[in-house]
Amino acid sequence: MSKQALMSRELLLTGAIILLLGIIASRFPAFIAPGNLVNVFNDTAPLILLAIGQMIVILTRCIDLSVAANLALTGMVVAMLNVAMPGLPVPVIIALAITFGAVLGMFNGVLVWKLAIPPIVVTLGTMTIFRGIIFLLSEGRWINAHQLSDAFKAFPRTVLLGLPVMSWIALGAVVLFVVVMNRTSLGRAFYAAGGNPHAATYAGINVGRTQFWAFTISGALSGLAGYLWVSRFAVAFVDLARGFELTVVAACVIGGVAIMGGSGTVLGAMLGALFLGIISNALPVVSISPFWQLAISGSAIIIAVALNASANRKKGRIILKRAEQAT
Amino acid sequence: MKRRTFSSLAAGLGLAASLMGTSAMAQDNMRIALVVKALGIGFFEAAAEGAQEAAAELGNVEIIYTGPTTTTAEGQIEVINSLIAQGVDAIAISANDPDAVVPALQRAMQRGITVISWDSGVAEEGRMMNLNPSSTELIGNTIIRLAADHMPEGGQVAILSATATSTNQNAWIAAAEAVLPDFPGIELVATVYGDDLSDKSYREAQGLMASFPDLQAIIAPTTVGILAACQAVSDAGKIGEINVTGLGLPSEMAGCVESGATKSFAIWNPIDLGYTATMIAHALATGAATAEPGAEIPTGRMGSVTLDDTTSAAMSDPFTYDASNIDQFKDIF
């Protein structure tokens, strides 16, 4: 797909987000106050992190359904670590969270790469395994606010230049991965491995190993989000972020990441996450019946996918026209 | 005449068989299965502790603490079927769905297993009796009173519930709405649903604060919701302005009470609940009591419960926890 078409998709999504904000503002003007928009962005930060990781995995024609379980397991591990060693500095905890999440991701990656098991099966399995491990570790107990150290809870809330640290982390990840995806050989390999695996193999790219790194990155970002999540809501338990993996996949799909691999951008994934984040933050204040809320979230996803599909069709017609003109 | 002799003979044999059955049971351990909504929930872990306490007191009783890993009726049906296969003596269940588990429980009763429900009840045809931790009316009244106690001049309150289809929460909220006229000045402005997810409950609490600037209390009759609301109020810097109350566990709520976001909250004692359910299941399974309207079943240190027309019984009033007693209870459950 040409760079121009990608740009237009992101512009389209930005337009949709602005339109959405306009509709919400007409019912609840305070929603678009800068302070509230900062809150919404901050609330969406974990979703952005996970959507970036998921996007990279989807690029390589895989899917990672274990992200929410990875988040919950890493969150529980760092929470238990904090309870056992309250003096451990937060940067160390974050480094451990990223490492631990990455190891869980590598486990997925090895199964996909070396055993060639379909990714959906692998990650469905590890999703359950991770939740099971949380249960074994915690013996079903919750870790609550008063057990966690103040530094552990304060870090993502600390405000720097008007934005909480959690938002800065999400923005940092976006910048980092825009560079990685566009300026490194590994980043280009993700596109190549998913776009045309055979051609990629001829070009000297090991498709299996590329998928392994995609799962590792997804796992590392899930681990990071795990610490942020537990710290923000000041609670860790087995069911943490239940069902969140589907929201993450939805964010990618809305963000224009092709579910068949090979196409998608970091910016698109971020915008897709923001779109869903705005909807879930707006629904409580526009007083819509809870019975309608799920239907509205679902409709938004289908409309976004339909727009994607129609954008793809248009591209097909243009090629045809050029072909006709050429003959 | 001949036939009558035969029937009395049959009755005699049946009696002998049942006596033998009872004596055989007394020698083996009686196995009582405590089936919970999902494993890994603090409340049910505490109930299991109470069941063990009752088992130790009764002697010769083995408690099987089990349940699905997620709160689904399908998962519970699988658990019930496996318990039937194991041939347990009694099943005490807190149901994820009042109707979906009925056929499986009826199969259990046909095989001579004593079936009672507790905490979250089963439809009448699917159990012998139902033990409510408290009565719906008492809980509805308690959650409004908890908020009203700290609002001498009245004001706005809102309810943050679990899912819009939760049997328990909906019954309590209906009861709370019914007693509102008894609390002049208290205005219930909204009921919202956090689906027992931390992030959604947090957003709903933020939404309440944004939509109702004069809000004075958030009542959350669910443990995930009350914690998320407490965190949202703390993060918004509104401790002291908005009191988060409702139903929660002392071990989970200690931080909220300490920070002042929660002035008081209530819960029945899950240890007592597991204890009472086990006592009742044991009494019914041994034949010491029968489950019929009006029957009084002794429940050890908890006294006794009396069954109403739907063979339901209420254990006791919910207990209020605040800064004065939280430290004593937070390590218990």
Q: What is the pLDDT of residue A313?
A: 54
Question: At residue B10, does pLDDT exceed 50?
Answer: no
- What is the spatial distance between Cα A81 and Cα A140, in angstroms, rounded to a whole number? 16
B residues 97-136 near A, CB within 8 Å? none
- Residue A190: phi, psi to the nearest 5? -60, -45
- Put simply, the answer to whether B192 touches A234 (Cβ < 8 Å) is no
Q: What is the pLDDT of residue A4?
A: 56
**CA-based nearest residue to B257, from A151, A83, A146, A150:** A146
Sign of CA dihedral B9, B12, B18, B21: negative
| pLDDT tens string B233-268 | 999 999 999 999 999 989 889 999 999 999 999 988
Mutate to test the interface with B, among A285, A287, A297 (most CBs of B within 10 A): A285
Band of residue B172 on the pLDDT scale cut at 50, 70, 90: very high
Q: Does A297 touch chain B (CB under 8 A)?
A: no
Q: Does B203 touch chain A (CB under 8 A)?
A: yes
Residue with tokens 């003959």: A327
Share of chain B above pLDDT 70, in %: 91
ipTM for the predicted complex comes to 0.81
Least-confidence region, from A174-178, A287-291, B131-135, B302-306: A287-291
Is the distance from CB of B315 to CB of B323 less than 8 angstroms? no
Instruction: Assign residue B170 a region (left: φ > 0; alpha: ψ between -120 and 50; beta: otherwise).
Output: alpha
| Residues paired with B90 in a beta bridge | B32, B114
Is the distance from CB of B67 to CB of B37 less than 8 angstroms? yes
DSSP B170-238: HHHHHHHHHHGGGSTTEEEEEEEE-TT-HHHHHHHHHHHHHH-TTEEEEEE-SHHHHHHHHHHHHHTT-
Q: Which residues does chain A have with pLDDT short of 50?
A: 1-2, 314-320, 323-324, 326-327
- What is the spatial distance between Cα B152 and Cα B141, in angstroms, rounded to a whole number? 17
Least-confidence region, from A12-16, B72-76, B82-86, B153-157: A12-16
Beta-carbon count within 10 A of B99 CB: 13
In the sheet that holds B186-193, the strands lie side by side as B186-193, B155-161, B215-220, B243-246
Minimal Cα–Cα distance from B177 to chain A, Å? 18
- What is the spatial distance between Cα A194 and Cα A201, in angstroms, rounded to a whole number? 11
Is the distance from CB of A135 to CB of B45 less than 8 angstroms? no
- Put simply, the answer to whether B203 touches A135 (Cβ < 8 Å) is no
Mutate to test the interface with B, among A235, A287, A288 (most CBs of B within 10 A): A235
Cβ-Cβ contacts under 8 Å, B69 against chain A: 131-132, 135, 238
| pLDDT tens string A89-137 | 999 999 999 999 999 999 999 999 999 999 999 999 999 999 999 999 9
Element (H, E) at B152: none
Give the CA distances from residue A97 to residues A90, A135, A170, A214, in Å, rounded to whole numbers and listed in that order.
10, 18, 15, 18
- What is the spatial distance between Cα A76 and Cα B25, in angstroms, rounded to a whole number? 44
Give the CA distances from residue B33 to residues A254, B42, B110, in Å, rounded to whole numbers and listed in that order.
47, 18, 17
Average per-residue pLDDT for chain B:
87
C-alpha distance across the termini of chain B, in Å: 64
Nearest CA in chain B to A32: B210
- What is the spatial distance between Cα B2 and Cα A251, in angstroms, rounded to a whole number? 80
For chain A, what is the radius of gyration of the CA atoms?
20
- Tokens found for residue B329: 């209870």
A residues 140-179 near B, CB within 8 Å? 140-142, 144-147, 157
Q: What domains, with CATH codes, occur in chain B?
A: 2-133+270-317 (3.40.50.2300), 136-267 (3.40.50.2300)
- Residue A258: phi, psi to the nearest 5? -70, 125
Question: At residue B5, does pLDDT exceed 90?
Answer: no
Strands annotated E in A99-202: 143-144, 159-160, 163-164
Is the distance from CB of A166 to CB of B66 less than 8 angstroms? no
Contacts of B257 (CB under 8 A, 6+ apart): B263, B264, B265, B321, B322, B323, B326
Q: Which residues of A25-50 are buried (b: 16+ CB within 10 A; e: fewer)?
A: eeebeebeeeebeebbbbbbbbbbbb
User: Which three-class secondary structure string do you get for A87-100?
Assistant: CCCHHHHHHHHHHH
Band of residue B42 on the pLDDT scale cut at 50, 70, 90: confident
Nearest CA in chain B to A142: B42
Q: What is the pLDDT of residue A199?
A: 92
Residue with tokens 């700290």: B150
- SS3 of chain A: helix, strand, coil, percent, to 5: 80, 0, 20
Rounded to two decimals, what is the model's pTM?
Answer: 0.76
Q: Does B210 touch chain A (CB under 8 A)?
A: yes
Query: Can you say how many angstroms the Cα of residue B289 is from the centroid of all Cα atoms in its chain?
Result: 22
- Determine how β-strand B155-161 pairs with β-strand B186-193: parallel
Domain ranges of chain A: 44-278
- Put simply, the answer to whether A28 touches B211 (Cβ < 8 Å) is yes
Maximum mean pLDDT: which of A8-12, B227-231, B289-293, B307-311 = B227-231
Band of residue B41 on the pLDDT scale cut at 50, 70, 90: confident
- Put simply, the answer to whether B40 touches A140 (Cβ < 8 Å) is yes
B192 vs B22, residue with greater confidence: B192
Share of chain B above pLDDT 90, in %: 61
Beta-carbon count within 10 A of A80 CB: 17
Residue with tokens 């939280």: B326
A residues 31-60 near B, CB within 8 Å? 31, 36, 39, 43
Beta-carbon count within 10 A of A88 CB: 16
- Put simply, the answer to whether B206 touches A39 (Cβ < 8 Å) is yes
- Tokens found for residue A149: 């150290």
